[in-house]
Amino acid sequence: GENVEQHPSTLSVQEGDSAVIKCTYSDSASNYFPWYKQELGKRPQLIIDIRSNVGEKKDQRIAVTLNKTAKHFSLHITETQPEDSAVYFCAATPLVGQNFVFGPGTRLSVLP
């Protein structure tokens, strides 16, 4: 089955700097890769996703890149703000609408 690894497990950046979180997956059949953000004490919520026919997707300060050959995808946050502090989970699935396999999460802290 699918296995998703995520690095780093914790990340601290200064406000205004960029943050990058990387995930690798094992199943070459996976073709949908969502990212979820979980603020302290809150539920995970989808922030961005990418499908295997796309190499990069942007939404304001957030972008996701995908390298299918290497089986890895990354979340990029530019101009970080305190409200970006949260745990971020990547996930992979072989088919949109099917079960996700989540990575272990990255705790991002944006320092003032």
Partner 1 sequence: DADVTQTPRNRITKTGKRIMLECSQTKGHDRMYWYRQDPGLGLRLIYYSFDVKDINKGEISDGYSVSRQAQAKFSLSLESAIPNQTALYFCATGSYNEQFFGPGTRLTVL
Name the site residues for partner 1 (rule: CB under 8 A).
Answer: 6, 9, 32, 34, 42-46, 49, 89, 96-97, 99-105
Least distance to partner 1 from the beta carbon of 15, Å? Answer: 25
Paired with 111 in beta bridges are: 14
Nearest to 74 by CA among 106, 111, 40, 38: 106
Nearer residue to partner 1 within complex by CB, 18 or 99: 99
Nearer residue to partner 1 within complex by CB, 38 or 78: 38
Least distance to partner 1 from the beta carbon of 97, Å? Answer: 5
Least distance to partner 1 from the beta carbon of 58, Å? Answer: 18
Please say whether the beta carbons of 3 and 25 come within 8 A: yes
Nearest to 75 by CA among 93, 84, 39: 84
Q: In the chain, which ranges are continuous DSSP H helix?
A: none
Nearer residue to partner 1 within complex by CB, 32 or 78: 32
